A = this chain, B = another copy of it.
Amino acid sequence: MAVRAGIVVTGTEVLTGRVSDRNGPWLAEALRARGVDVGSVVVVGDRPEDLRAALGFLAGSVDLVITSGGLGPTADDLTAAVVGDFQGRPSIVDEALEERIAAVVARLSARRGWRMDPGATAAGVRKQAQVPAGATVLEPVGTAPGLVVPVAEGRSGPPVLVLPGPPSELQGMWPAAVDSAPVRAALAGATELRQRTLRLWGTPESELAATLRRVDDELAGLEVTTCLRDGELEIVTRYDAGAEPAYGRLEQAVTADFGDTLFSDGPTADALVATAFADRGWTVAVGESCTGGLLTARLTAVEGSSAWVLGGVAAYANSAKEQLLDVPAATLAQAGAVSPEVARALAEGARSRFGSDVGIGLTGIAGPGGGTAEKPVGTVHLAAVGPDGEVAKSVVLMGSRDSIRQRTTAHAVHLLRQLLLGGPPA
């Protein structure tokens, strides 16, 4: 019997999208790695009745409920009280905990130079020190303690693990949470769930669907899900260790049918590019325009990227393309700013100005304005030049301004992959 967990993410800012939820996915992955399955993540605002309903929904079918958020000092932070009430355990102030939280708050305020109102601060701290009777307290990583609240004596139901909302605090508290006695007991018996990923670039989802249907009877024990995003088709499979042979058959079928678009059996394109640059000892510089800095930001998002990324120029105005990346005025005039010639000139200009081994350039029309009949919105030209040779690509992308910028950045990363590693064409 699989061990299951349910997750409740609280916060009106998450419900409305002001903040993207990172805790649900992180917890689902952390749990999967321990063989615990997550069926649902329920996102609620700051209303007690909605949180209560979510707890009620999940508690009937899982071994552990986990909540995130709602542990701050303001009146709309009410998770601990609602969970305590739901589990039938009234809250009391833990005074030793209150002192520890007060000390943390004082230290943080001093470091950040905030002016603090003593009454406001004390009230907030006291609120954060309220603990349901019988709950296990997890020491604060920030200011808010976590809790493991078992159901009241004589009742049945899963314990509720209450974690802070800020992702760094939640992740910092996780080791203590899974090590606590009630959580260990709840998750006892979980067996390892494996997860493997295959990545295709350029295959439509319906063709993959046909392959999966064809070999369906060989895949018992596998849970296969596919996701098409920014042009990349990702096949994620979860299974018990006993179904490893079935995964081998799936991988064989995909390799046989899609050998020319299968570019990875795990690592992302970004990871492949980063490793390739490190292995070759090459550096790269970027000359981008419509993506406005997104490509350089994406390459530098990886830890250690300073070893191989010298930087980039977002040459938004045409004057910037000439002045900073030496794109000839004549080329801009004849071919136009959005052309293969200018993409190549941006790549060469970046390589030359930064002194890198590889240069990548791109130019396009992100929209919504700026398109013409010959060069509609979504027209993008890319070029990558390196010591061994060069590659280029032109596409017309559909979608919103943001979507075109994001997809162009993805195409650029795949072009670098193609330049450095060969394999499936970008």
The answer to whether the Cβ of A16 comes within 8 Å of any Cβ in the partner chain is yes
The answer to whether the Cβ of A252 comes within 8 Å of any Cβ in the partner chain is no
Which of B301, B314, B353, B369 is the one whose CB lies under 8 Å from A300? B314
Q: How far is the CA of A23 from the CA of B293 in the complex (A)?
A: 26
The answer to whether the Cβ of A225 comes within 8 Å of any Cβ in the partner chain is yes
Total A residues in contact with B, Cβ cutoff 8 Å: 111
Which of B45, B309, B323 is the one whose CB lies under 8 Å from A353? B323
Q: Are B316 and A311 in contact (CB under 8 A)?
A: yes
Q: How far is the CA of A213 from the CA of B25 in the complex (A)?
A: 34
Which of B61, B114, B206, B312 is the one whose CB lies under 8 Å from A73? B206
Q: Mark A10-33, 1 if CB is under 8 A from B, else 0.
A: 011101111111101110110000
Q: Are A39 and B50 in contact (CB under 8 A)?
A: yes
Of the candidate stretches A173-181, A380-388, A398-406, the one touching chain B is A398-406
Q: How far is the CA of A44 from the CA of B297 in the complex (A)?
A: 31
The answer to whether the Cβ of A275 comes within 8 Å of any Cβ in the partner chain is no
Residues of A participating in the B interface, judged by any CB pair closer than 8 Å: 11-13, 15-22, 24-26, 28-29, 38-47, 49-50, 53-54, 57, 61, 72-76, 105, 109, 111, 114, 116-117, 119-121, 123-124, 168, 202, 204-210, 212-213, 216, 224-229, 234, 236, 285-286, 289, 291-301, 303-306, 309-317, 319-320, 323-324, 353-355, 368-369, 396, 399-403, 405
Interchain Cβ contacts under 8 Å between A and B, 16 examples: A13-B225, A16-B236, A17-B28, A19-B227, A42-B42, A72-B228, A74-B209, A76-B225, A105-B206, A117-B206, A286-B314, A292-B300, A294-B297, A296-B316, A300-B316, A317-B354
